[in-house]
């Protein structure tokens, strides 16, 4: 979950490292540090955000052109300067930054202690610096040998960048189950845990695989396998645009990304719908494969899981295929019963979420076909799944997802329609009707952004200090309530819960008192009266009700305040109703003066269990 960056080339490394770390801050922001190679290796660290590190470095003359940097999301040991990376081996022979978790670090500390190694931090990372140093000195066979022996010895996940005292013009890297890319241009070589860190300098990247290592020289990168043999890699072009990774005048990335939604939804639709026909050929999925699928398991975490919950309703209704949705951290240890005619769908923005990746591997072990819905090209989940549908959200920087969520929904709607068509559960007319409606979603999202902002800001300014909020709905409205509630709690720190509207009175309604904020999502014409009854029950107990509903559904009797959304076909309402919920979460967090893009305790891309 931490961010790693490195540079070796012609220019001053410190500027590139600090800029890269700032672009990676969404991956962790407890503490940060850099190591710059001049004649010697100089290390600087600061607790807290990158700005603290920048202040510390203000008057330092750092001319070195080779260095590594790190922004931390603490796992082992509190956020402090002492625990911040880079870490060094006892005699300074090895300097290292690490992303991931070393599971057997206690055992390794015991081993190294017997060889007189001492430890100054509470991290699992420091042991890596020392074990590399240990193998380097014991076998005297150079960096690749020391790194490969370390990879065989440690358990866990890691992306590491290492500088050896005796190899001044090189940075060594290795990875297993933690993301890392390597970039190259005429000015040098770059490494990063995520594309936005180096996008300003290059979009030519190498993807380094699990249990591979590389040496970054000033003008080239040499890759090695676990045997120490050199391997060839092709350089790939990242299609992301640098502007997408910058704030471009917006106050926060989150609001910028909310506003980008019409565009990225269109892009995602257009990449799969050609001449009014859904085309999944590029990802290898065809009608014959789809026809044979008997049941579906959707597995994901957080908001991506909520996309799964929404999709369950749509896929089951359109294609009459049974769907189960599971949280990846549960799925991976549940020993799920899967059969060969099942399809496991993993949804993930980053493509690196540890639990989702593990769930994918579990499914593959059982010989089940897997489909990944992923935003980051070349990510682990994208590379390991049998089929991949990419969402075209572009880089998502705010920790709370918005645009990736919206594009994941689109990918899943298209999948549901194509599946229903392959199984002949819908005719051509229905197919066209659904596709035509999907194409209208971007415009409808834009309408909310154009017309409802003031009304949403008003609710936010009145309710930003409430202790609790509840989101209720039925069917797809319940599914989107889950996302609305998460959006609020994760960035505003207001306790909030999502409930199936009919379930509230089985216990939770006892929490409703005078002025408790309750969001009622009411878009489904078939069951809206039931939800209205549930909202009436809440209102008569003093709840303050904000409804999100299209004009044609009359919610006037229960609403204290109504947010009107454009109409669509019932399956696609999540794409529309989520927008005011994202905006409400955002404006409440802004009203509270919180750091919206980097909420406390969180980090984007959860690469640890
Ligand atoms: C919430 C949020 C998280 C992610 C979750 C999965 O706003 O962003 O709940 O949805 O951590 O992440 P990915 O999609 O990268 O697997």
For residue 144, give Cα distances in angstroms to 36, 85, 151, 505: 21, 22, 10, 62
Cα–Cα distance measured from residue 598 to residue 367, given in angstroms and rounded to the nearest whole number: 39
Cα–Cα distance measured from residue 5 to residue 180, given in angstroms and rounded to the nearest whole number: 9
Q: What mean pLDDT do residues 561-572 have?
A: 97
Q: How far is CA 595 from the centre of its chain?
A: 18
Cα–Cα distance measured from residue 432 to residue 25, given in angstroms and rounded to the nearest whole number: 44
Is 192 a residue whose pLDDT tops 90? yes
Is 27 a residue whose pLDDT tops 80? no
Ligand 1 pocket, mutate which of 179, 258, 298, 302 (most atoms under 8 A from CB) = 302
Q: How far is CA 191 from the centre of its chain?
A: 19
Is 492 a residue whose pLDDT tops 80? yes
Q: What is the pLDDT of residues 170-186, one digit of tens each?
A: 999 999 999 999 999 99
Reply yes or no on whether 552 is catalytic: no
Could you give the count of Cα atoms lying within 13 Å of 451 in the half-sphere of its Cβ?
A: 10
* pLDDT computed for residue 335 by the predictor: 86
pLDDT band at 152 (very low <50, low <70, confident <90, very high): very high
pLDDT band at 76 (very low <50, low <70, confident <90, very high): confident
Q: Let me know: does 284 contact 371? Beta carbons within 8 Å.
A: no
Q: What mean pLDDT do residues 564-577 have?
A: 98
Q: What is the pLDDT of residues 376-414, one digit of tens each?
A: 998 999 999 999 999 999 999 999 999 999 999 999 999
Cα–Cα distance measured from residue 5 to residue 412, given in angstroms and rounded to the nearest whole number: 34
pLDDT band at 164 (very low <50, low <70, confident <90, very high): very high
Give me the chain's average pLDDT, please: 95
Would you call the peptide bond into 225 cis, given omega within 30 degrees of 0 as the criterion? no
Cα–Cα distance measured from residue 527 to residue 389, given in angstroms and rounded to the nearest whole number: 33
Give the chain's largest Cα–Cα span: 79
Q: Let me know: does 48 contact 29? Beta carbons within 8 Å.
A: yes
* pLDDT computed for residue 397 by the predictor: 92
For residue 255, give Cα distances in angstroms to 248, 398, 584, 589: 11, 9, 11, 11
CA dihedral 398, 403, 407, 410 (to 10 degrees): 140
Q: What is the pLDDT of residues 109-119, one digit of tens each?
A: 999 999 999 99
pLDDT band at 24 (very low <50, low <70, confident <90, very high): confident
- The length of the chain is 609
Could you give the count of Cα atoms lying within 13 Å of 145 in the half-sphere of its Cβ?
A: 9
Residue 265 backbone dihedrals phi, psi, to 5 degrees: -65, -45
Q: Beta 156-164 vs 171-176: how paired, if at all?
A: antiparallel
- 50 or 471, greater pLDDT: 471
Is 296 a residue whose pLDDT tops 80? yes
pLDDT band at 533 (very low <50, low <70, confident <90, very high): very high
Q: Let me know: does 318 contact 419? Beta carbons within 8 Å.
A: yes
Reply yes or no on whether 301 is catalytic: no
* pLDDT computed for residue 175 by the predictor: 96
pLDDT band at 502 (very low <50, low <70, confident <90, very high): very high
The b/e string for 475-513 (b: 16+ C-beta within 10 A; e otherwise) is bbbbbbbbbbbbbbbbbbebebbbbbbeebeeeebeebe
Q: What is the whole-number distance in angstroms between the Cα of residue 604 and the centre of ligand 1?
A: 7
Q: What is the whole-number distance in angstroms between the Cα of residue 341 and the centre of ligand 1?
A: 28
Closest protein CA for atom 10 of ligand 1: 303
* pLDDT computed for residue 21 by the predictor: 94
Cα–Cα distance measured from residue 485 to residue 519, given in angstroms and rounded to the nearest whole number: 9
pLDDT band at 239 (very low <50, low <70, confident <90, very high): confident
* pLDDT computed for residue 29 by the predictor: 78
Ligand 1 pocket, mutate which of 177, 304, 486, 492 (most atoms under 8 A from CB) = 304
* pLDDT computed for residue 140 by the predictor: 96
* Ligand 1 near 301 CB (within 6 A): yes
pLDDT band at 249 (very low <50, low <70, confident <90, very high): confident
Q: Which residues pair with 98 in a beta bridge?
A: 160
Helices (H), 540-599: 573-591
Cα–Cα distance measured from residue 119 to residue 138, given in angstroms and rounded to the nearest whole number: 19
* pLDDT computed for residue 601 by the predictor: 85
Ligand 1 pocket, mutate which of 26, 349, 391 (most atoms under 8 A from CB) = 349
Q: What is the pLDDT of residues 596-609, one digit of tens each?
A: 998 998 877 787 77
Is 92 a residue whose pLDDT tops 80? yes
Q: What is the whole-number distance in angstroms between the Cα of residue 605 and the centre of ligand 1?
A: 7
* pLDDT computed for residue 246 by the predictor: 81
Q: What is the pLDDT of residues 409-443, one digit of tens each?
A: 999 999 999 999 999 999 999 999 999 999 999 99
Residues 6+ apart with CB under 8 A from 388: 283, 371, 372, 373, 374, 382
Cα–Cα distance measured from residue 572 to residue 317, given in angstroms and rounded to the nearest whole number: 13
């Amino acid at each position: 979950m931490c961010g790693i960056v490195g540079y070796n080339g012609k220019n001053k490394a410190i500027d590139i490292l600090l800029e890269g770390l700032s672009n990676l801050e969404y991956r962790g922001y407890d503490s940060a540090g850099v190591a710059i190679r001049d004649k010697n290796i100089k290390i600087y660290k600061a607790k807290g955000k990158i700005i603290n590190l920048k202040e510390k470095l203000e008057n330092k003359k750092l001319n070195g052109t080779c260095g590594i940097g790190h922004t931390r999301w603490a796992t082992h040991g509190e956020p402090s300067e002492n625990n911040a990376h880079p870490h060094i081996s006892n005699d300074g022979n090895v300097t290292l930054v690490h992303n991931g978790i070393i599971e057997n670090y206690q055992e390794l500390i015991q081993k190294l202690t017997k060889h007189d190694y001492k430890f100054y931090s509470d991290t699992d990372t420091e042991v890596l610096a020392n074990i590399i140093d240990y193998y380097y000195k014991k076998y005297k066979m150079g960096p690749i040998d020391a790194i490969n022996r370390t990879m065989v010895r440690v358990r866990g996940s890691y992306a590491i960048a290492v500088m050896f005292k005796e190899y001044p013009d090189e940075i060594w890297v290795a990875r297993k189950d933690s993301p890392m890319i390597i970039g190259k241009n005429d000015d040098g070589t770059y490494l990063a845990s995520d594309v936005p860190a180096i996008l300003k300098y290059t979009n030519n990247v190498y993807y380094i695989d699990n249990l591979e290592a590389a040496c970054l020289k000033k003008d080239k990168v040499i890759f090695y396998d676990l045997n120490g043999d050199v391997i060839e890699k092709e350089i790939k072009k990242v299609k992301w645009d640098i502007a997408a990774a910058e704030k471009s005048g917006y106050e926060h990335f989150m609001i910028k990304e909310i506003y980008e939604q019409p565009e990225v939804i269109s892009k995602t639709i257009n990449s799969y719908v050609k001449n009014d026909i859904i085309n999944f050929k590029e990802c290898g999925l065809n009608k014959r494969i789809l026809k044979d699928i008997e049941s579906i398991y959707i597995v994901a975490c957080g908001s991506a899981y909520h996309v799964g919950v929404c999709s369950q309703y749509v896929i089951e209704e359109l294609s009459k295929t049974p769907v189960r949705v599971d949280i990846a951290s549960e799925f991976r240890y549940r020993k799920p019963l899967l059969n060969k005619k099942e399809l496991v769908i993993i949804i993930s923005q980053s493509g690196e979420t540890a639990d989702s990746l593990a769930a994918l591997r579990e499914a593959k072990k059982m010989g089940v076909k897997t489909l990944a819905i992923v935003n980051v090209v070349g990510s682990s989940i994208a590379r390991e799944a049998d089929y991949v549908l990419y969402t075209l959200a572009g880089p998502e920087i705010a920790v709370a997802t918005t645009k990736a969520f919206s594009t994941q929904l689109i990918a899943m709607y298209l999948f549901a329609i194509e599946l229903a068509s392959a199984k002949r559960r819908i005719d051509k007319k229905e197919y066209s009707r659904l596709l035509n409606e999907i194409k209208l979603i971007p415009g409808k999202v834009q309408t909310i952004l154009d017309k409802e902002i003031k009304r949403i800001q008003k609710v936010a300014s009145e309710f930003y200090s409430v202790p609790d909020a509840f989101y209720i709905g039925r069917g797809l409205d319940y599914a989107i309530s889950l996302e609305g509630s998460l959006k609020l709690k994760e960035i505003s720190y207001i306790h909030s819960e999502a409930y199936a509207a009919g379930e509230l009175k089985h216990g939770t309604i006892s929490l409703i008192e005078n002025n408790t904020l309750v969001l009622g999502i009411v878009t489904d014409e078939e069951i809206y009266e039931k939800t209205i009854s549930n909202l009436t029950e809440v209102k008569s107990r003093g709840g303050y009700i904000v409804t999100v509903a299209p004009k044609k559904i009359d919610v006037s009797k229960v609403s204290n305040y109504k947010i009107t959304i454009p109409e669509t076909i019932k399956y696609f309402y999540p794409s529309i109703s989520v927008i005011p919920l994202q905006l409400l979460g955002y404006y409440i967090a802004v009203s509270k003066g919180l750091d919206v893009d980097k909420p406390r305790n969180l980090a984007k891309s959860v690469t640890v269990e």
